[in-house]
Amino acid sequence: MIRLLLPIAVILVTLGVWWFVSKTEVFNASLFPSPWEVWSGFGDEIHKGHLFDNIIASLYRVAIGFGLSVVLGVPCGLILGHSPLMRAAFLPGVNFFRSLSPLAWLGFAILWFGIGDVSSMFLIFMATFFPLVLSTFAAVAGIPNVYFRVARDFDLRGFELLRRVTLPAIMPQLVTSLRVTAGIAWIVIVAAEMNGAQEGLGFAIIDARNALSPDLLAANMIIIGIVGVLLDQVLARLVLIPSVRWGFER
């Protein structure tokens, strides 16, 4: 019960402080909306049909860009973890690109793909691919050698070694990495959509700013946070997979 009441109490206190500040002269009242004004902004966005359209547009771009980084990044990390030769050849480059801000690719994204879905997906891919490669490699490198010695005793090789030893051993770290990189993808899509997109939550932020509508600005910011939390909770459900649960109980 206390786990439910504490977050509710924090939310109520936050709303109270927010309302109080909005009624003081610290901020310009026209530029610092009250909670009620933001709630009205939610209603306007839902009534116009903009809110769900923008959420779907952003989620679509994230699903494609992040999905590609998972499909390609996890296998690359597995290869680096198992092959010293590949690790020596490619790990410095992976570290280099991982250190680049994904928004540094914005210019090339627009030059190569124009303004639209593909450029946003490209930015998400570049933001999440290299961290996923490194985290998968680190998880493989952290598997105790005794696991592989036992696998050799049972003559497990190739795909069977991957399925029965490597993946179950790294799944806890992999789930955590997926949650972190999904959060990065959600942050990047908002920034990417602020540069020429015609729909999406990032576009909604810029549109509200240009219209001098702080209520809609705050409403869309809250939606971004809520959707990000929901995405994280969906990925957190992966811990219910038996092999992942086994890894946590190790």
Which domains, ranges and CATH numbers included, belong to the chain?
36-249 (1.10.3720.10)
How far apart are the C-alpha atoms of 107 and 150, rounded to whole Å? 50
Q: Reply yes or no on whether the pLDDT at 14 is more than 70.
A: yes
pLDDT of residue 26: 60
What is d(CA 174, CA 28) in angstroms, rounded to the nearest whole number? 46
Specify the higher pLDDT residue, 226 or 38. 226
Q: Which two tokens stand for residue 192?
A: 């990417």
Mean pLDDT, residues 221-249 taken together: 78
Q: How far is CA 128 from the centre of its chain?
A: 8
Predicted pLDDT at 8: 82
In this predicted structure, what is the pLDDT of residue 228?
A: 92
Task: Give pLDDT, residue 248.
Answer: 47
Alpha-carbon distances, residue 137 vs 22, 29, 94, 152, 249 (angstroms): 49, 51, 11, 21, 21
Residue 245 has pLDDT above 60, yes or no: no
Looking at residue 38, its pLDDT comes to 82
